[in-house]
């Protein structure tokens, strides 16, 4: 997925965002401070928003599964809690089984499904921001 991001989204390469961890519990995407800094040598808010968007999109895309399913972000909220002066890290946990079943069922029946995901941002290991995003998966049925 990381390679696919870098090829398809130039900003991912500019941010030097990388997958630090992907297991059955969570996805963690990290990026070094240098290419994401602002004038105060802390992380640019736009970089934190982009990293959170990417991380949530990653989980939603993995949930949706097939390559013929587009995943788009529909809305987001962010609370910036403290400046990030270390490595940028964004963590998204998998939704619970109930949520995943609801998502799968909707995608199978209606060729579309929505999921709300919570992404936590860290400065190294210190919590720095909270992001909520709503993502929609749309299966390309070939019928327009």
Binding residues (CB under 8 A) for its own copies: these are: 4, 8-11, 14-15, 34-40, 44-47, 49-51, 53-54, 57, 70, 72-80, 83
Q: Count how many Cα atoms sit within 13 Å of the Cα of residue 68 in the half-sphere of its side chain.
A: 8
- Looking at beta carbons only, is 20 or 35 nearer to its own copies? 35
Beta strands in 12-125 (DSSP E): 18-22, 26-31, 69-80, 88-93, 112-123
CB of 97 to its own copies, least distance (A): 27
The least CB distance from residue 103 to its own copies, in Å, is 19
User: CB of 122: closest distance to its own copies in angstroms?
Assistant: 17
Q: Kindly state the smallest distance separating residue 116's Cβ from its own copies, in Å.
A: 14
The nearer residue to its own copies, 74 or 101, going by C-beta atoms, is 74
- 67: phi then psi, degrees, rounded to nearest 5: -70, -25
Give the residue carrying structure tokens 């929609």.
136
Tell me the C-alpha distance between 40 and 69, whole Å. Answer: 40
Based on CB atoms, which residue is closest to its own copies, 10 or 96? 10
DSSP classification of residue 43: B
Q: What are phi and psi of 59, to 5 degrees?
A: -65, -45
**Of 44 and 122, which CB lies nearer to its own copies in the complex structure?**
44
């Amino acid at each position: 997925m990381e390679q696919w991001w870098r090829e398809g989204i130039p900003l991912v390469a500019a941010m030097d965002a990388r997958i630090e961890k992907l297991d059955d519990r969570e996805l963690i995407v990290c990026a070094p401070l240098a290419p994401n800094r602002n004038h105060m040598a802390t992380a640019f808010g736009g970089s934190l928003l982009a990293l959170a968007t990417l991380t949530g999109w990653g989980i939603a895309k993995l949930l949706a599964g097939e390559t013929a399913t587009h995943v788009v972000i529909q809305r987001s909220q962010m609370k910036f809690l403290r400046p990030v002066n270390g490595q940028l890290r964004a963590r998204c946990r998998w939704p619970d089984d109930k949520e995943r079943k609801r998502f799968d069922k909707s995608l199978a029946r209606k060729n579309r499904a929505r999921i709300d995901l919570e992404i936590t941002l860290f400065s190294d290991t210190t919590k720095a921001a909270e992001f909520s995003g709503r993502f929609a998966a749309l299966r390309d049925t070939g019928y327009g």
